[in-house]
Structure 1
Amino acid sequence: MRHLFLFLSIVFISNTVFSQNEFNKWSIEANLGVNKPMGPLTGGYLSPTLNIGHVDFGGRYMVNQFYGFSGNFGFGSFSEAKDVSPEFKTDYLSLSLSGVWNIGRSLSFETFTKRFTVLGEFGVGIGSLKSENRINSEGKLPDFDPDYVYSFNSSLKGLYSLSNRISLQGTISMIVNGRQRYTFDGNDFNQIGRPLVPEIPFVHATATWWTGTVGLNFYLGKNETHADWYIQEDKYATKEELASQIGGIKDMLKDSDGDGVPDYLDKEPNTPAGARVNSFGTTMDSDGDGTPDHLDKCPFLPGPSSTGGCPVEKIVEQVDYLRKAINDGFVNVYYAFDSDKPLGYSTSAANYVSNFLKKNPGVSVEVKGYADELGPEDYNMKLSERRAKAVYDLLVASGVDASRISYKGYGEDTSVDKSSADARQMARRASFEVK
């Protein structure tokens, strides 16, 4: 228990010492208004709906712009409803300590107003009630011994900023007294039956009353604003800083070599114009013969650079080699996460298949869409079909007869390591199968 207390003390002190100093933390307040004893009251005794006669003073310390502590001292009197109740008058004093929650800051009221906020308070207190005509243990009048109580207090405060130093405050409070011996009017005991002993014992009977007040908050400190109105985001909101952030984003998204891969992801920032690249902006060499695809006359058949990347020997049934390259997954169109729009660098794969179909009118092709394993399975199935349809549309738009093309979504590609971002990128694709 001692270690827990020490830990909580260190946390509180650290939070107080190292909390932000851009705002003032202390304030004092003065309020006046009405009260209403809800019960218990002696039969036949009534109080007015709004009884003018409550005054309170308080001080508050905010640890940060969201939470703090407050203390309050109040006094006033309850009296009868004129002409409908017997006369009575009960004076009271109250002293409380509460925790404070700035509801307005927590709910970001500043997005629609910077001059109004709401505080919630809950705490405990002590108090006393003294009735001028209160009965004693023998049912005789008067008995001026105060009735001492403890209480649970809750308040809701609306604050409207008049300046950096003053705010207008409206408060509604509910107080539940514990161990109250007498009714609020003092004419009966707050317990079943009357005791037979001379002294009224302290009983654990409760009583409830309300107050409604209007007052002023005065903010103390050398800073420009108080925690009630402090908005942390304001320090980032200058036009110069915003312009700088936007400029940095624009620089990051530049694509200097025009290959469709932004510079911050491009591992080959000087790719030649027209070159086929992968998702990292690196020039592709599909057949691994040292001649990049955009210069290789036979991009899927290895050969020396002297023959434009084609084999030296005579190529027989080239369609079979091209069919194998396509069906083995060397030709793919790739997509960004949760997108059915082909990435710019990979649309050349669709052009390659289009040229193949035009040169080989006797074959047809199926476009096969895939998705990575992130997200719901049924959603990914639909996404994969939209990706396949997008490539189908590209092929039709390029002049290939739609009757030679079919498309289908195959859902998630579970053959890759879904924990790897690079592997997931390779899964987000549309492949081809020559029929």
Structure 2
Amino acid sequence: MKKILLTLSVFALTTSVFAQTNEPTTSTETETSSSDYNKWSIELNGGVNKYQRPATSGYYTTTPSPWNADFGVRYMFNNKFGLKLDAGYYNFTGHDSSLEFDTHYYRANLQAVANLGRIMSFETWTNTIGLLGHTGFGYGQLKSDNAAFTDKMFNFMAGVTGQIRLSNRVALTGDFTTILNAQQDYAFDGASQVGGRGFGGILFQGTVGLTVYLGGKEKHADWVTLDSELKKEIDALENRLATIETGLTDSDQDGVPDMFDAEPNSMAGVAVDTKGRTIDRNNNGVADELENYFETKYGDKGTSSTAGMDVKSLINDGYVNVYFDFNKTQPTTESASGINFLVKYLKANPSASADVVGYADEIGNADYNKNLSQQRANNVKQILVDAGISGSRLNVVANGEDTSVNKDSKQARQIVRRVTFKIK
């Protein structure tokens, strides 16, 4: 018993110290708890009791003996520790074969509360069952209907409370508590004086009751897991980081991250402005860098027909391609620039039309690869149509396998899984 009392006393003192120092040392949890859950509750309980000592020979009660009741107000600092102020009343009457007596015990206590359910991670297997531990000191009085005395004393109490959550506002509770009285001068039956010093009185109680949770938040601290709330915050931060990482991807490799790129599918290798848009000052649908190259190499500056013919030759000679991963029918992200190049050319030359020519590598059945090349060409055509090019200007051609490279070379096969264009 002495070891139990020492353990409970240390627990009470430790909890009190924690209550005083909790706010500055756990700012993150305090901020979270203040905004995420309720802290106040009221408790009403009733049940039976049994005193062990002191007692007068010939006086005794039933086991257990009715009745007792208590009312308390509890405040939780966080989801694990709190304080409770409560008051209780106990009635002791003699059993049928006992000498007659009728006494009353009153008490008031300030107790530290530990949410054992959260401390022991009940949430890993239930969201309905909880467990509280409570211990503290208080003041008590014993009075008798048969004698005019008031026995004043101090007490120490400790107990456990099982919880069943009925809703976010109400919980059903069952409690077992031991009360130790110090400086108790009379026996519980009031029939004799014992002149006790120290913790000489022992009283047990068992109750059932209801806890009502107060506040405007969804849940009370009894049922909140800060680890889950922290995980939500971490997941949100990770999602934000993933969004930023995705946004910093440079799909068209023009030096401008996608999140800032107004044209994330610009043609590889051509100059762009600070927003990732292809530089096309004369708005003819052809990048100025390519236009300058052809004008320098093949014709005079300002001769648009020459530049137009050279761009057509560039497309027809296979310099503009759309590539595919192995056995895939949708183009790779990097190939968007090739499609975009043709879109701009066809919009700048409304009388032109184009063959959309699909290819596959030599891995697999020839008939299967023929169909694969057809699907690839169809999908590229659909992208062109979605980009504003009339389907009547586009003719799909399935050329099947391209045998121009070594089929045993994985790297070489990448360049024949493609769609090319022929301007007409």
TM-score (norm 1): 0.47
Max radius of gyration: which structure?
Answer: 2
TM-score (norm 2): 0.48
